[in-house]
């Protein structure tokens, strides 16, 4: 038993050495074959890494939104469609401040009903001799604005109901705006100018960092009533945020709000809603549908690439067998059996596919994690897909290497030695 194990170990070791030597002697041919394997594995690992990163980011964003919160909007949260679908949403009535006030007054189940609009980019913002060098996001919000914008105060105070009701010229600024306008001062109670009008800074938010390559701290919040008076246009449509008391009352709250919005917007009973309800569930389903399509595409590309690479492995192995007929004859003449020759050429095919797979895995993880850098989330290594990728590489190596290895193992040793 020990002798058989020792023989098998020596056979595998020698086969591996000879496989490496054969690949080293045919570098260009081997590199071209490795390239096909690498592309196939790279396409799968890269896409899966990017998708895992995107899912991590979307989960964190949905967690901030809250499991009990949904948003009423004119447009869907994630829109994937052609020009016809876009026209449908564009022709809808805008959601206006009256509808928000009516919903807030009539709804009895929600914990809160808040409003926001953040479609304005503004650069004309000054404090004394300092001015923003790039545009900042100007956001109209109510007294729930900080929670809705998923941020917290670092100093100062929030909007009050009177700030909203009386359209006071007050603002809460993000850290990026404070860094430029108040590099050495406390911004609280200072007056800045937005498009020539004075606004008192009443709050400064905590720093959030970057996402999708852009800063999340480059913004100013102003009362929604001020925003609508001075910065709205014909395309302005508000976002109404509704939070239920608990997850148990979410469905009842949603039903009540949808019914009230249909009444307020005078939607006929036979027609579908002319507004969207965007929640964690809908966003998750939309993201899953989007990523599912990408997975199918990446899978198709990888299958084609691996199939082509497998054919390349078979070709290179067949050429290798024909070039090494005399070597095979010599090995058989000095005692190598069919299993030894079969193992040698199979090892060569598996080594080719595995080496290409490892290169593809490394490049795929690096390429996929570019998304992590853009989203400012931790890097991801999809270990399950790494395992699947390398396992598939082994299957490809064995499947496409078995025939050339079988041919080599069944060569007649006498004819092989006479081969010229």
Q: What is the pLDDT of residues 395-414, one digit of tens each?
A: 888 888 888 878 877 776 66
- Cβ 356 vs Cβ 400: under 8 Å: no
Whole-number Å distance between alpha carbons of 135 and 157: 24
> Quick one: which H or E segment has residue 138?
strand 136-141
φ, ψ of residue 171 in degrees (nearest 5):
-150, 150
Give 22-81 as a DSSP string.
Answer: HHHHTHHHHHHHHHHHHHHHHHHHHHHHHHHHHHHHHHHHHHHH-TTEEEEESS-SS---
Query: Structure tokens of 123?
Result: 């650069």
Q: Which two tokens stand for residue 164?
A: 């909203």
Dist. CA 218–CA 158, nearest whole Å: 18
Dihedral pair phi/psi, residue 155, rounded to 5°? -160, 165
> Euclidean distance between the first and final Cα of the chain, in Å?
41
Judge whether 165 and 97 are in contact, CB under 8 Å.
no
Separation CA 181–CA 335 (nearest Å): 85
pLDDT < 50 positions in the chain: none
Dihedral of alpha carbons 118, 123, 128, 130, sign: positive
Residue 410: the pLDDT is 78
- CA nearest neighbour of 381 among 396, 365, 397, 401: 365
Q: Which of 191, 188, 215, 193 minimizes the C-alpha distance to 131?
A: 193
CA distance 282 to 277: 8
Closest CA to 30 of 412, 404, 352: 352
| Nearest-angstrom CA–CA distance, 311 and 305 | 10
For residue 126, list its beta bridge partners: 131, 193
- DSSP readout, 339-404? HHHHHHHHHHHHHHHHHHHHHHHHHHHHHHTHHHHHHT------HHHHHHHHHHHHHHHHHHHHHH
The pLDDT, as a whole number, for residue 85 is 62
Place of tokens 């914008």: 149
CB 371 within 8 A of CB 332: no
Answer positive or negative: Cα dihedral of 52, 70, 231, 221: negative
At which residue do the structure tokens 């497998």 appear? 310
Report yes or no: 195 and 122 within 8 Å, Cβ to Cβ: yes
- Please, is 59 exposed, middle or buried when counting C-beta atoms within 10 Å of its C-beta (0-12, 13-18, 19+)? middle
Could you state, in order of their start, the residue ranges of all structural domains in the chain?
A: 2-60+286-418, 69-275
Positions of E strands within 186-326: 191-194, 197-205, 210-211, 214-215, 219-223, 239-243, 276-279
- Global confidence as pTM: 0.65
Secondary structure letter of residue 206 according to DSSP: P
The pair phi, psi for residue 213, each rounded to 5°, is 80, -5
* C-alpha closest to that of 402 among 332, 341, 325, 324: 341
pLDDT at 140: 94
- What is the H or E stretch that residue 130 is in? strand 130-131
């Amino acid at each position: 038993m020990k002798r058989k194990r020792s023989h098998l170990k020596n056979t595998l070791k020698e086969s591996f050495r000879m496989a490496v030597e054969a690949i080293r002697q045919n570098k260009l041919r081997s590199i071209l074959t490795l390239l096909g394997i690498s592309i196939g594995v790279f396409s799968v690992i890269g896409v899966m890494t990017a998708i895992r990163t995107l899912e991590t980011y979307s989960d964190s964003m949905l967690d901030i939104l809250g499991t009990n919160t949904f948003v009423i909007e004119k447009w869907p949260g994630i829109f994937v469609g052609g020009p016809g679908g876009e026209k449908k949403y564009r022709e809808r009535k805008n959601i206006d401040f009256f509808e928000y006030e009516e919903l807030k007054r009539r709804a009895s189940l929600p914990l809160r009903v808040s409003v926001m609009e953040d479609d304005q980019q503004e650069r004309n913002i000054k404090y004394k001799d300092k001015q923003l060098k790039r545009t900042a996001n100007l956001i109209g919000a109510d007294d729930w604005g900080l929670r809705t914008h998923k941020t917290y105060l670092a100093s100062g105070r929030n909007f009050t109901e009177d700030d909203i009701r009386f359209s006071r010229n007050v603002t809460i600024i993000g850290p990026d705006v404070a860094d430029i306008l108040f590099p050495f001062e406390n911004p609280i109670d200072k007056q800045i100018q937005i498009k020539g009008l004075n606004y008192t800074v009443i709050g400064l938010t905590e720093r959030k960092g970057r996402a999708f390559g852009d800063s999340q701290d480059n913004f100013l919040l102003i009362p929604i009533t001020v925003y609508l008076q001075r910065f709205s246009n014909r395309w302005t449509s508000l976002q109404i945020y509704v939070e239920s008391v608990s997850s148990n009352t979410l469905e009842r709250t949603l039903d009540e709000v949808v019914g009230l919005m249909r009444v307020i917007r005078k939607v006929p009973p036979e027609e579908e809603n002319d507004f969207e309800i965007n929640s964690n569930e809908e966003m998750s389903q939309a993201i899953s549908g989007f990523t599912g399509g990408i997975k199918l595409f990446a899978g198709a590309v990888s299958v084609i690439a691996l199939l082509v690479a497998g054919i390349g492995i078979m070709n290179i192995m067949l050429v290798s067998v024909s070039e090494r007929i005399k070597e095979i004859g010599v090995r058989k003449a000095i005692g190598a059996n069919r299993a030894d020759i079969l193992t040698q050429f199979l090892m060569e095919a598996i080594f080719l596919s595995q080496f290409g797979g490892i290169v593809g895995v490394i490049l795929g993880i690096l390429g996929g994690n570019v998304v992590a850098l853009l989203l400012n989330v931790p890097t991801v290594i999809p270990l399950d897909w790494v395992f699947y990728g390398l396992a598939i590489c082994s299957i490809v190596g064995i499947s496409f290497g078995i025939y050339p290895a079988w041919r080599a193992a069944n060569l007649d040793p006498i004819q092989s030695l006479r081969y010229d």
